[in-house]
Structure 1
Amino acid sequence: MKRIFAALLVVLALGAISAAGAYYYWQSRLSAPLALEEPQLYQVPSGAGFHRVIAELGEQGTITDAWAFRLLPRLAPDKLPQLRAGEYQLQPGMTGRDMLELLGSNDVVTYSLTVPEGWTFRQMRELLNTASKLDNRTAEMNDEEVMALIGREGVHPEGWFFPDTYRYHLGMSDVDILQQSLEKMEQVLDEVWAERSEDLPIDTPYEALIMASLIERETGAPEERREIAGVFKRRLESGMRLQTDPTVIYGMGERYDGSISYADLREATPYNTYVIDGMPPTPIALPGRAALEAAVNPLPGETLYFVAKGDGTHYFSRTLREHNNAVNRYIRNR
């Protein structure tokens, strides 16, 4: 009887040792490095389950011991990652455990696109239509349908989207970017409007948005924005027309070929500030924060005119005579 008991103990001990060895080996396979010699992009499909992901990684040769991962739901279900759809960058030297942690994280591969200051909404839409990895839901929509889709039905889109760099990941759409950009512009416009000067000839944040778009299109020189805003302010106060070329260009639409003729300056469009009084009915571009700040805090002074010098900056004049001399110097002679 003692011999039988002793033999049983030996069997149990050997079984425990074998089980411990098997468990250790299983754990070692989970901790083994992935079979990668260079970074690999892996996409977790939307709705994919754990077994499907492990099967794909095994078929690709990324993991060599898929059996070890398939045991995880049974032996350690608490270690199962909550898989998130998206793209993940798997790196050489990463272990199976590292991979599982990554696939359950928010550390997805991201992409970026930049909407420059002064672009139009049409240009922004063209950029979204060609952005890599971005789901395009609005390509076949007109502007009115796009605005309705993002909750601004009946709102003219020009000017309402903040020019900035936006990051996105696989699974996001152009609607997500448009929504972010719209909300950013509304936030910045509210902040800037709250810090406005007291003696502005404009009465609403939307008028500030229009004014900022004119400033944005007139100059890219940071030091000039407030002075151009000052010229526009004094012109509005004195009843002069703004006479700014970018409004002519915007009114011409796709007819604009890079040059403006005398006939274009005289053409009666809703935007041509050589013809209409006051400001155009809507913004003509997407202004950045600096242009918005200039629009509501114009530089005091006496200048009423400015002309491009050809180097990206302008010459500012107080009188028409001085302005005509500057035009002769910088435009006609050139």
Structure 2
Amino acid sequence: MEAKKLFLRIISIGAALIIISGGYVINKAFTGNTKFEQEEVFVYVPTDSKYEDVKKILAPYIENQSKIDWVASKRNYDSNVKSGKFLLKKGMSSFSIVRALRLNTPVKLAFNNQEKVQDLFVRIASQIEPDTTKLNEIFTNDTFLQENGLNKDNVMSFFIPNSYEFYWNISPEEFAEKLTKEYKRFWNDSRLAKAKALNLTPAQVYTLASIVHKETAKADERPKVAGVYLNRLKKNMPLQADPTVIFALKQKSNDWSLVVKRVMHNDLIVNSPYNTYKNTGLPPGPIFMPDVSAIDAVLNPEKHNYLYFCASVEKFGYHEFATDYNAHLKVAAKYADWVKKQNYKR
């Protein structure tokens, strides 16, 4: 009888210890341990981070760090830190947080509407770990440029505007490799054949597309505008594209915030290889990152005999086209009268 009582007492004590131990584990690992009000936050753990670095990164979001430490130790995270972008959700337990720190979240990287390549690097660096210095080194070194038939003036033509998916902590080398694959995928046999038929390289197509994009925001008009410039190139006529003059003015003044609503006669004498009023042929590189629609407009231009175009005052956003200079002057005069009535100072 006494033995039975002793056995039951031992069982009771064991059960109590299990309950206490279980409660301890639950408190440490499975109760909420966040202190942010948003439903979700992302934390970024740089490459080669140590656990002490992670603790500093988590500090603004965690209620009780000792609980994280306990779980991290039990799950060997403290000796096996992962770099990347990680999603934390409001009310997460310590166990869930440590698990989340092993689930690298892809970044949907997008870039478009950039005027110069350095701005592009800033845009990209704001979305992935490599900084502008590393991006500049990887994309403007002589080896990379030579392998891709580019130079520092036209290197932006390597970047096809689109949305891409990468991991935040991708290395500069991996990033360049993946973009190279995207570049080659874009410049497929069909597009390369069309560029060759125009006697243009992909970089030259991109440069002309940047002008076409700036000349008209109307995607359906871009093949027609592209046709005008290709006609001019065939005749060795200056492109006389106002957007190139604006680019030249910005570059010369180093004021990229400069707003030029109207190109004046005195602007046309700016000394720059980008001034297509003074120079024949294409400028050294793109003046803007064109949409794919503008690139394809150059590759699939409308076939016509137009050599001139001017903004329409009857169909705003579009242009009126002419085959001879006298007809163009009539349209230009109509537009000049309209502009004068708007009282534009520039």
Q: Which TM-score band applies after superposition, normalised by the shorter structure?
A: 0.7 to 0.9
User: 1:79-228, aligned counterparts within 5 Å?
Assistant: 83-86=81-84, 88-107=86-105, 114-116=111-113, 119-125=115-121, 127=123, 131=126, 136-138=131-133, 147-148=140-141, 151-152=144-145, 155-156=151-152, 157-164=155-162, 184-185=182-183, 187-190=185-188, 193-194=191-192, 196=194, 200-228=197-225
TM-score by length of 1: 0.73
Shift of 1:128: 5.8
Residue 314 of structure 1 is aligned with which of 305, 315, 319? 319
Q: Is the 8 A contact 2:35 2:61 kept in 1?
A: no
Unaligned runs of 5+ in 2: 340-346
Q: Is the 8 A contact 1:121 1:161 kept in 2?
A: no
Q: Percent identity?
A: 20
Report the secondary structure of 1:26's partner residue: helix
Residue 238 of structure 1 is aligned with which of 232, 235, 239? 235
Q: How many residues are treated as equivalent by the alignment?
A: 322
Return the alpha-carbon distance in structure 1 between the equivalents of residues 273 and 56 of structure 2: 62
TM-score by length of 2: 0.71
Q: Does 1:274 align with 2:277?
A: yes
Shift of 1:36: 3.6
- CA 188–295 in structure 1, closer or farther in 2 if over 3 Å, else same: same
Q: Which residue of the partner structure matches residue 62 of structure 1? A: 63
Q: Which amino acid aligns with 1:9?
A: F
Shift of 1:307: 0.8
Q: Which amino acid aligns with 1:319?
A: D
User: 1:4-15, aligned counterparts within 5 Å?
Assistant: 5-6=3-4, 9-10=7-8, 12-15=10-13
Residue by residue over 1:195-229, the C-alpha shift from the partner in whole angstroms, topping out at 9 and shown as x without a partner, is 7388x432422222222122122211111110011
Q: Is the 8 A contact 2:276 2:283 kept in 1?
A: yes
Q: Which amino acid aligns with 1:155?
A: N
Q: Which amino acid aligns with 1:147?
A: T
Report the secondary structure of 2:99's partner residue: helix
Return the alpha-carbon distance in structure 1 between the equivalents of residues 243 and 8 of structure 2: 93
Return the alpha-carbon distance in structure 1 between the equivalents of residues 13 and 77 of structure 2: 26
User: 1:293-332, aligned counterparts within 5 Å?
Assistant: 293-309=296-312, 311-332=316-337
Return the alpha-carbon distance in structure 1 between the equivalents of residues 142 and 19 of structure 2: 60
Residue by residue over 1:231-268, the C-alpha shift from the partner in whole angstroms, topping out at 9 and shown as x without a partner, is 12222233433221222333342338525343442455
- CA 90–270 in structure 1, closer or farther in 2 if over 3 Å, else same: closer
Return the alpha-carbon distance in structure 1 between the equivalents of residues 264 and 60 of structure 2: 65
Range that drifts further, 227-236 or 163-172: 163-172
Residue 260 of structure 1 is aligned with which of 237, 260, 263? 263
Report the secondary structure of 2:133's partner residue: coil
Q: Which amino acid aligns with 2:332?
A: V
Return the alpha-carbon distance in structure 1 between the equivalents of residues 193 and 284 of structure 2: 24
Q: Which amino acid aligns with 1:70?
A: W
Q: Is the 8 A contact 1:159 1:287 kept in 2?
A: no
Shift of 1:289: 0.8
Give 1 or 2 for the bigger CA radius of gyration: 1
Shift of 1:144: 7.8
Return the alpha-carbon distance in structure 2 between the equivalents of residues 178 and 79 of structure 1: 30
CA RMSD in angstroms, aligned pairs only:
4.4
Shift of 1:104: 1.9
- CA 245–58 in structure 1, closer or farther in 2 if over 3 Å, else same: closer
Q: Is the 8 A contact 1:250 1:271 kept in 2?
A: yes
